[in-house]
Amino acid sequence: MTQGERFDRLDRFDVVGVGALNLDYLAAWSGPRDRVEAVVNSAVGSPVGWGSEAAVEENVVRRLLDLVNPADVTVSAGGSTFNMVYALAHARPDLALGYVGVAGSSPEGGFSAMDALGRVGVDVTVVGRSPRLPGVCLALGHDGDRTLFTHIGANSETAQYLEQRFDELVEYLARARIVHVTSFLDPETPKVLLRLLTAARSVRPDLVVTLDPGHVWCADPSPEILSLVALADYLLLNRAELGLLAGRVGAVGGEDEAGALLRTMVTPRPIVLVKLPDGVVLYQTAGTQLVGHKMLAPDEVVDSTGAGDVFAAGLLAMLVAGSPGPHEVELGAQLGLTLARHKLRHLGSRGHAAFGALTQELGS
């Protein structure tokens, strides 16, 4: 049975991802930080937030790439939701997966997120198309930090695309068991996205929403972003993002901050999952649980870009197995950590071929 035949027969999706589609440049920088800071400060007018994410113009990405040895740069399709869906397709090739977003036109001979999704059987029938270049993200590794410099590109057209195809996309999302959402860099998309998800849930009240807002949304959450947080069933954060989203700038988020967020989430059994170096903390109204794992030694880490997205893929691979309860969430966190640990040992998606076996091993 082909992927298309399975969609027609079941008329549903297990997971639909909503997010940006980018070209990712993975690069290592061993030079002094002040050379990077000089490029960014002159263009943005603010210091580099090492280890976080910044929205920049395309020329800033190009100037930063000029600093790096081309032999140290790897190019691939990317974007947080793309990374999650692509990893999930490898972990659970039996699932029906879909995508909502806008695809730009890659340079001739360049990498295409659409081609990559198609190769692993992800439905892209409602993905918008733009003649503009796709978004560009430079993941710059330096002294253990991974800093993202992202240009919005064709993703700037997402709000217009969601508006123009609103009713069609509501029906598409309502066919999903789980919808996974990550951030966009423009101020308009969260507004339309909130309306879209609210409408989809009115059609399908049991629709599960997982949200990974990332640094940009957490650092400056608009009322619409906070409403998206309230709408989510599962909220995925790291400790710094937890502190930011709870309104405590510079704080390393913990139980108090997670509790404040849980009180804003309107779904019956919300969970805030906070990723730590040594595991994941599951904050729930009924209590707190740590799902631990053994950290890799620094010299074992090859590439950390997208590890959080791979974790999300492991979580969702277990959540679709049945009615998401404490057992599925714990197993999902365990699988997410296992897949992320494996991914950290490989550049880009080069280790994804093992995800299916790792998933079967944990699920057996």
Indicate whether 273 belongs to any domain. Answer: yes
Residue 313 — left, alpha, or beta (φ > 0 → left; ψ -120 to 50 → alpha)?
alpha
pLDDT above 90 as % of the chain:
61
CATH for 234? 3.40.1190.20
Domain holding 123, by residue range, is 3-23+78-134+153-363
Q: Which is it for the CA torsion 222, 225, 227, 230, positive or negative?
A: negative
- Structural domain total, the chain: 1
Q: Is residue 275 part of a domain?
A: yes
- What pLDDT, on the 0 to 100 scale, is given for residue 4? 43
Binned at pLDDT 50, 70 and 90, residue 30 comes out as confident
Look at residue 3 and tell me whether its pLDDT is greater than 50: no
**pLDDT higher at 353 or 32:** 353
Bridge partners, residue 292, by sequence: 279
pLDDT: is 250 or 199 the higher one? 199
Mean per-residue pLDDT over the chain, rounded = 89
State the angle between helix axes of 307-319 and 326-344 in degrees (0 to 180), rounded to the nearest 10.
150
Instruction: Give pLDDT tens digits for 272-326.
Output: 999 998 899 999 988 999 999 889 998 899 888 889 999 999 999 999 976 666 7
**Cα separation of 271 and 261, whole Å?**
10
Which one is predicted more confidently, 327 or 357? 357
Question: Helices marked H in 141-188 — which ranges?
Answer: 158-164, 166-174
Counted residue by residue, the chain has a size of 364
| Choice among 103-107, 133-137, 217-221 with the minimum mean pLDDT | 103-107
Higher pLDDT, 325 or 243: 243
Report the DSSP beta bridge partners of residue 78. Answer: 22
pLDDT band at 156, cuts 50/70/90?
Answer: very high
